[in-house]
Amino acid sequence: MSNKLISKVSLIIVLVINLISCKAQQTYPLLTSLDNIPNMSHIRDTNNELQSFVGKYVSTYNGNQITLYITKENNKFFDYGNQKVYRDVLSVKYIVKNSSGIILQDTKNMSFQQDDLSYAIYSLWVTENGTKAELIYSGTNCSVGFGSINIKKISATEISWEYRPNDVTTTADKCPPNLDTTIYLPITKDLIFTKE
């Protein structure tokens, strides 16, 4: 085989690999449905809509102080079974303290793994030019409290919170009785959190 032919074959192989690689990692905006994109795509915050939610927010509910730590994570991998994607998301960690200052639940320093998302809160999408975000909460132990959280920008320093759990109880045959399945997040609508 001549050097010229080897160079042409090598160039074709490189082009094919690049074409496959580009197709596998296509980029789409935040509001793109998973039904409309190829596997292993990237859903990116192309309009910087997530940034307006980032910060530390505090509120009080039923005597408990709730502190939310909202950050933005780029290229977070999600495996939805038949669909795998990378997404830019809001990640919410929190600390809940009672009126005596005792910590009831603290996820601030937790590292969530794909195979164990207990306590994790991630955004699904942001709407209305970055003023509303829908989040999914994986729940506490045994997924108790799994449900949706909606936050809405009220002002530059305030967000409104609504949490709707799908499940609020469990049974001993589904979850070991020694695990805490208390839902400490406020199950309410229109709770105002103020940015610190």
The answer to whether 65 and 185 are in contact (CB under 8 A) is no
Question: What is residue 91's predicted lDDT score, i.e. its pLDDT?
Answer: 94
Cα-to-chain-centroid distance, residue 92: 7
Return the closest-CA partner of residue 190 out of 156, 152, 157: 152
pTM above 0.95, yes or no: no
The answer to whether 183 and 165 are in contact (CB under 8 A) is yes
* Segment 92-124, tens digit of pLDDT: 999 999 999 999 999 999 887 655 667 899 998
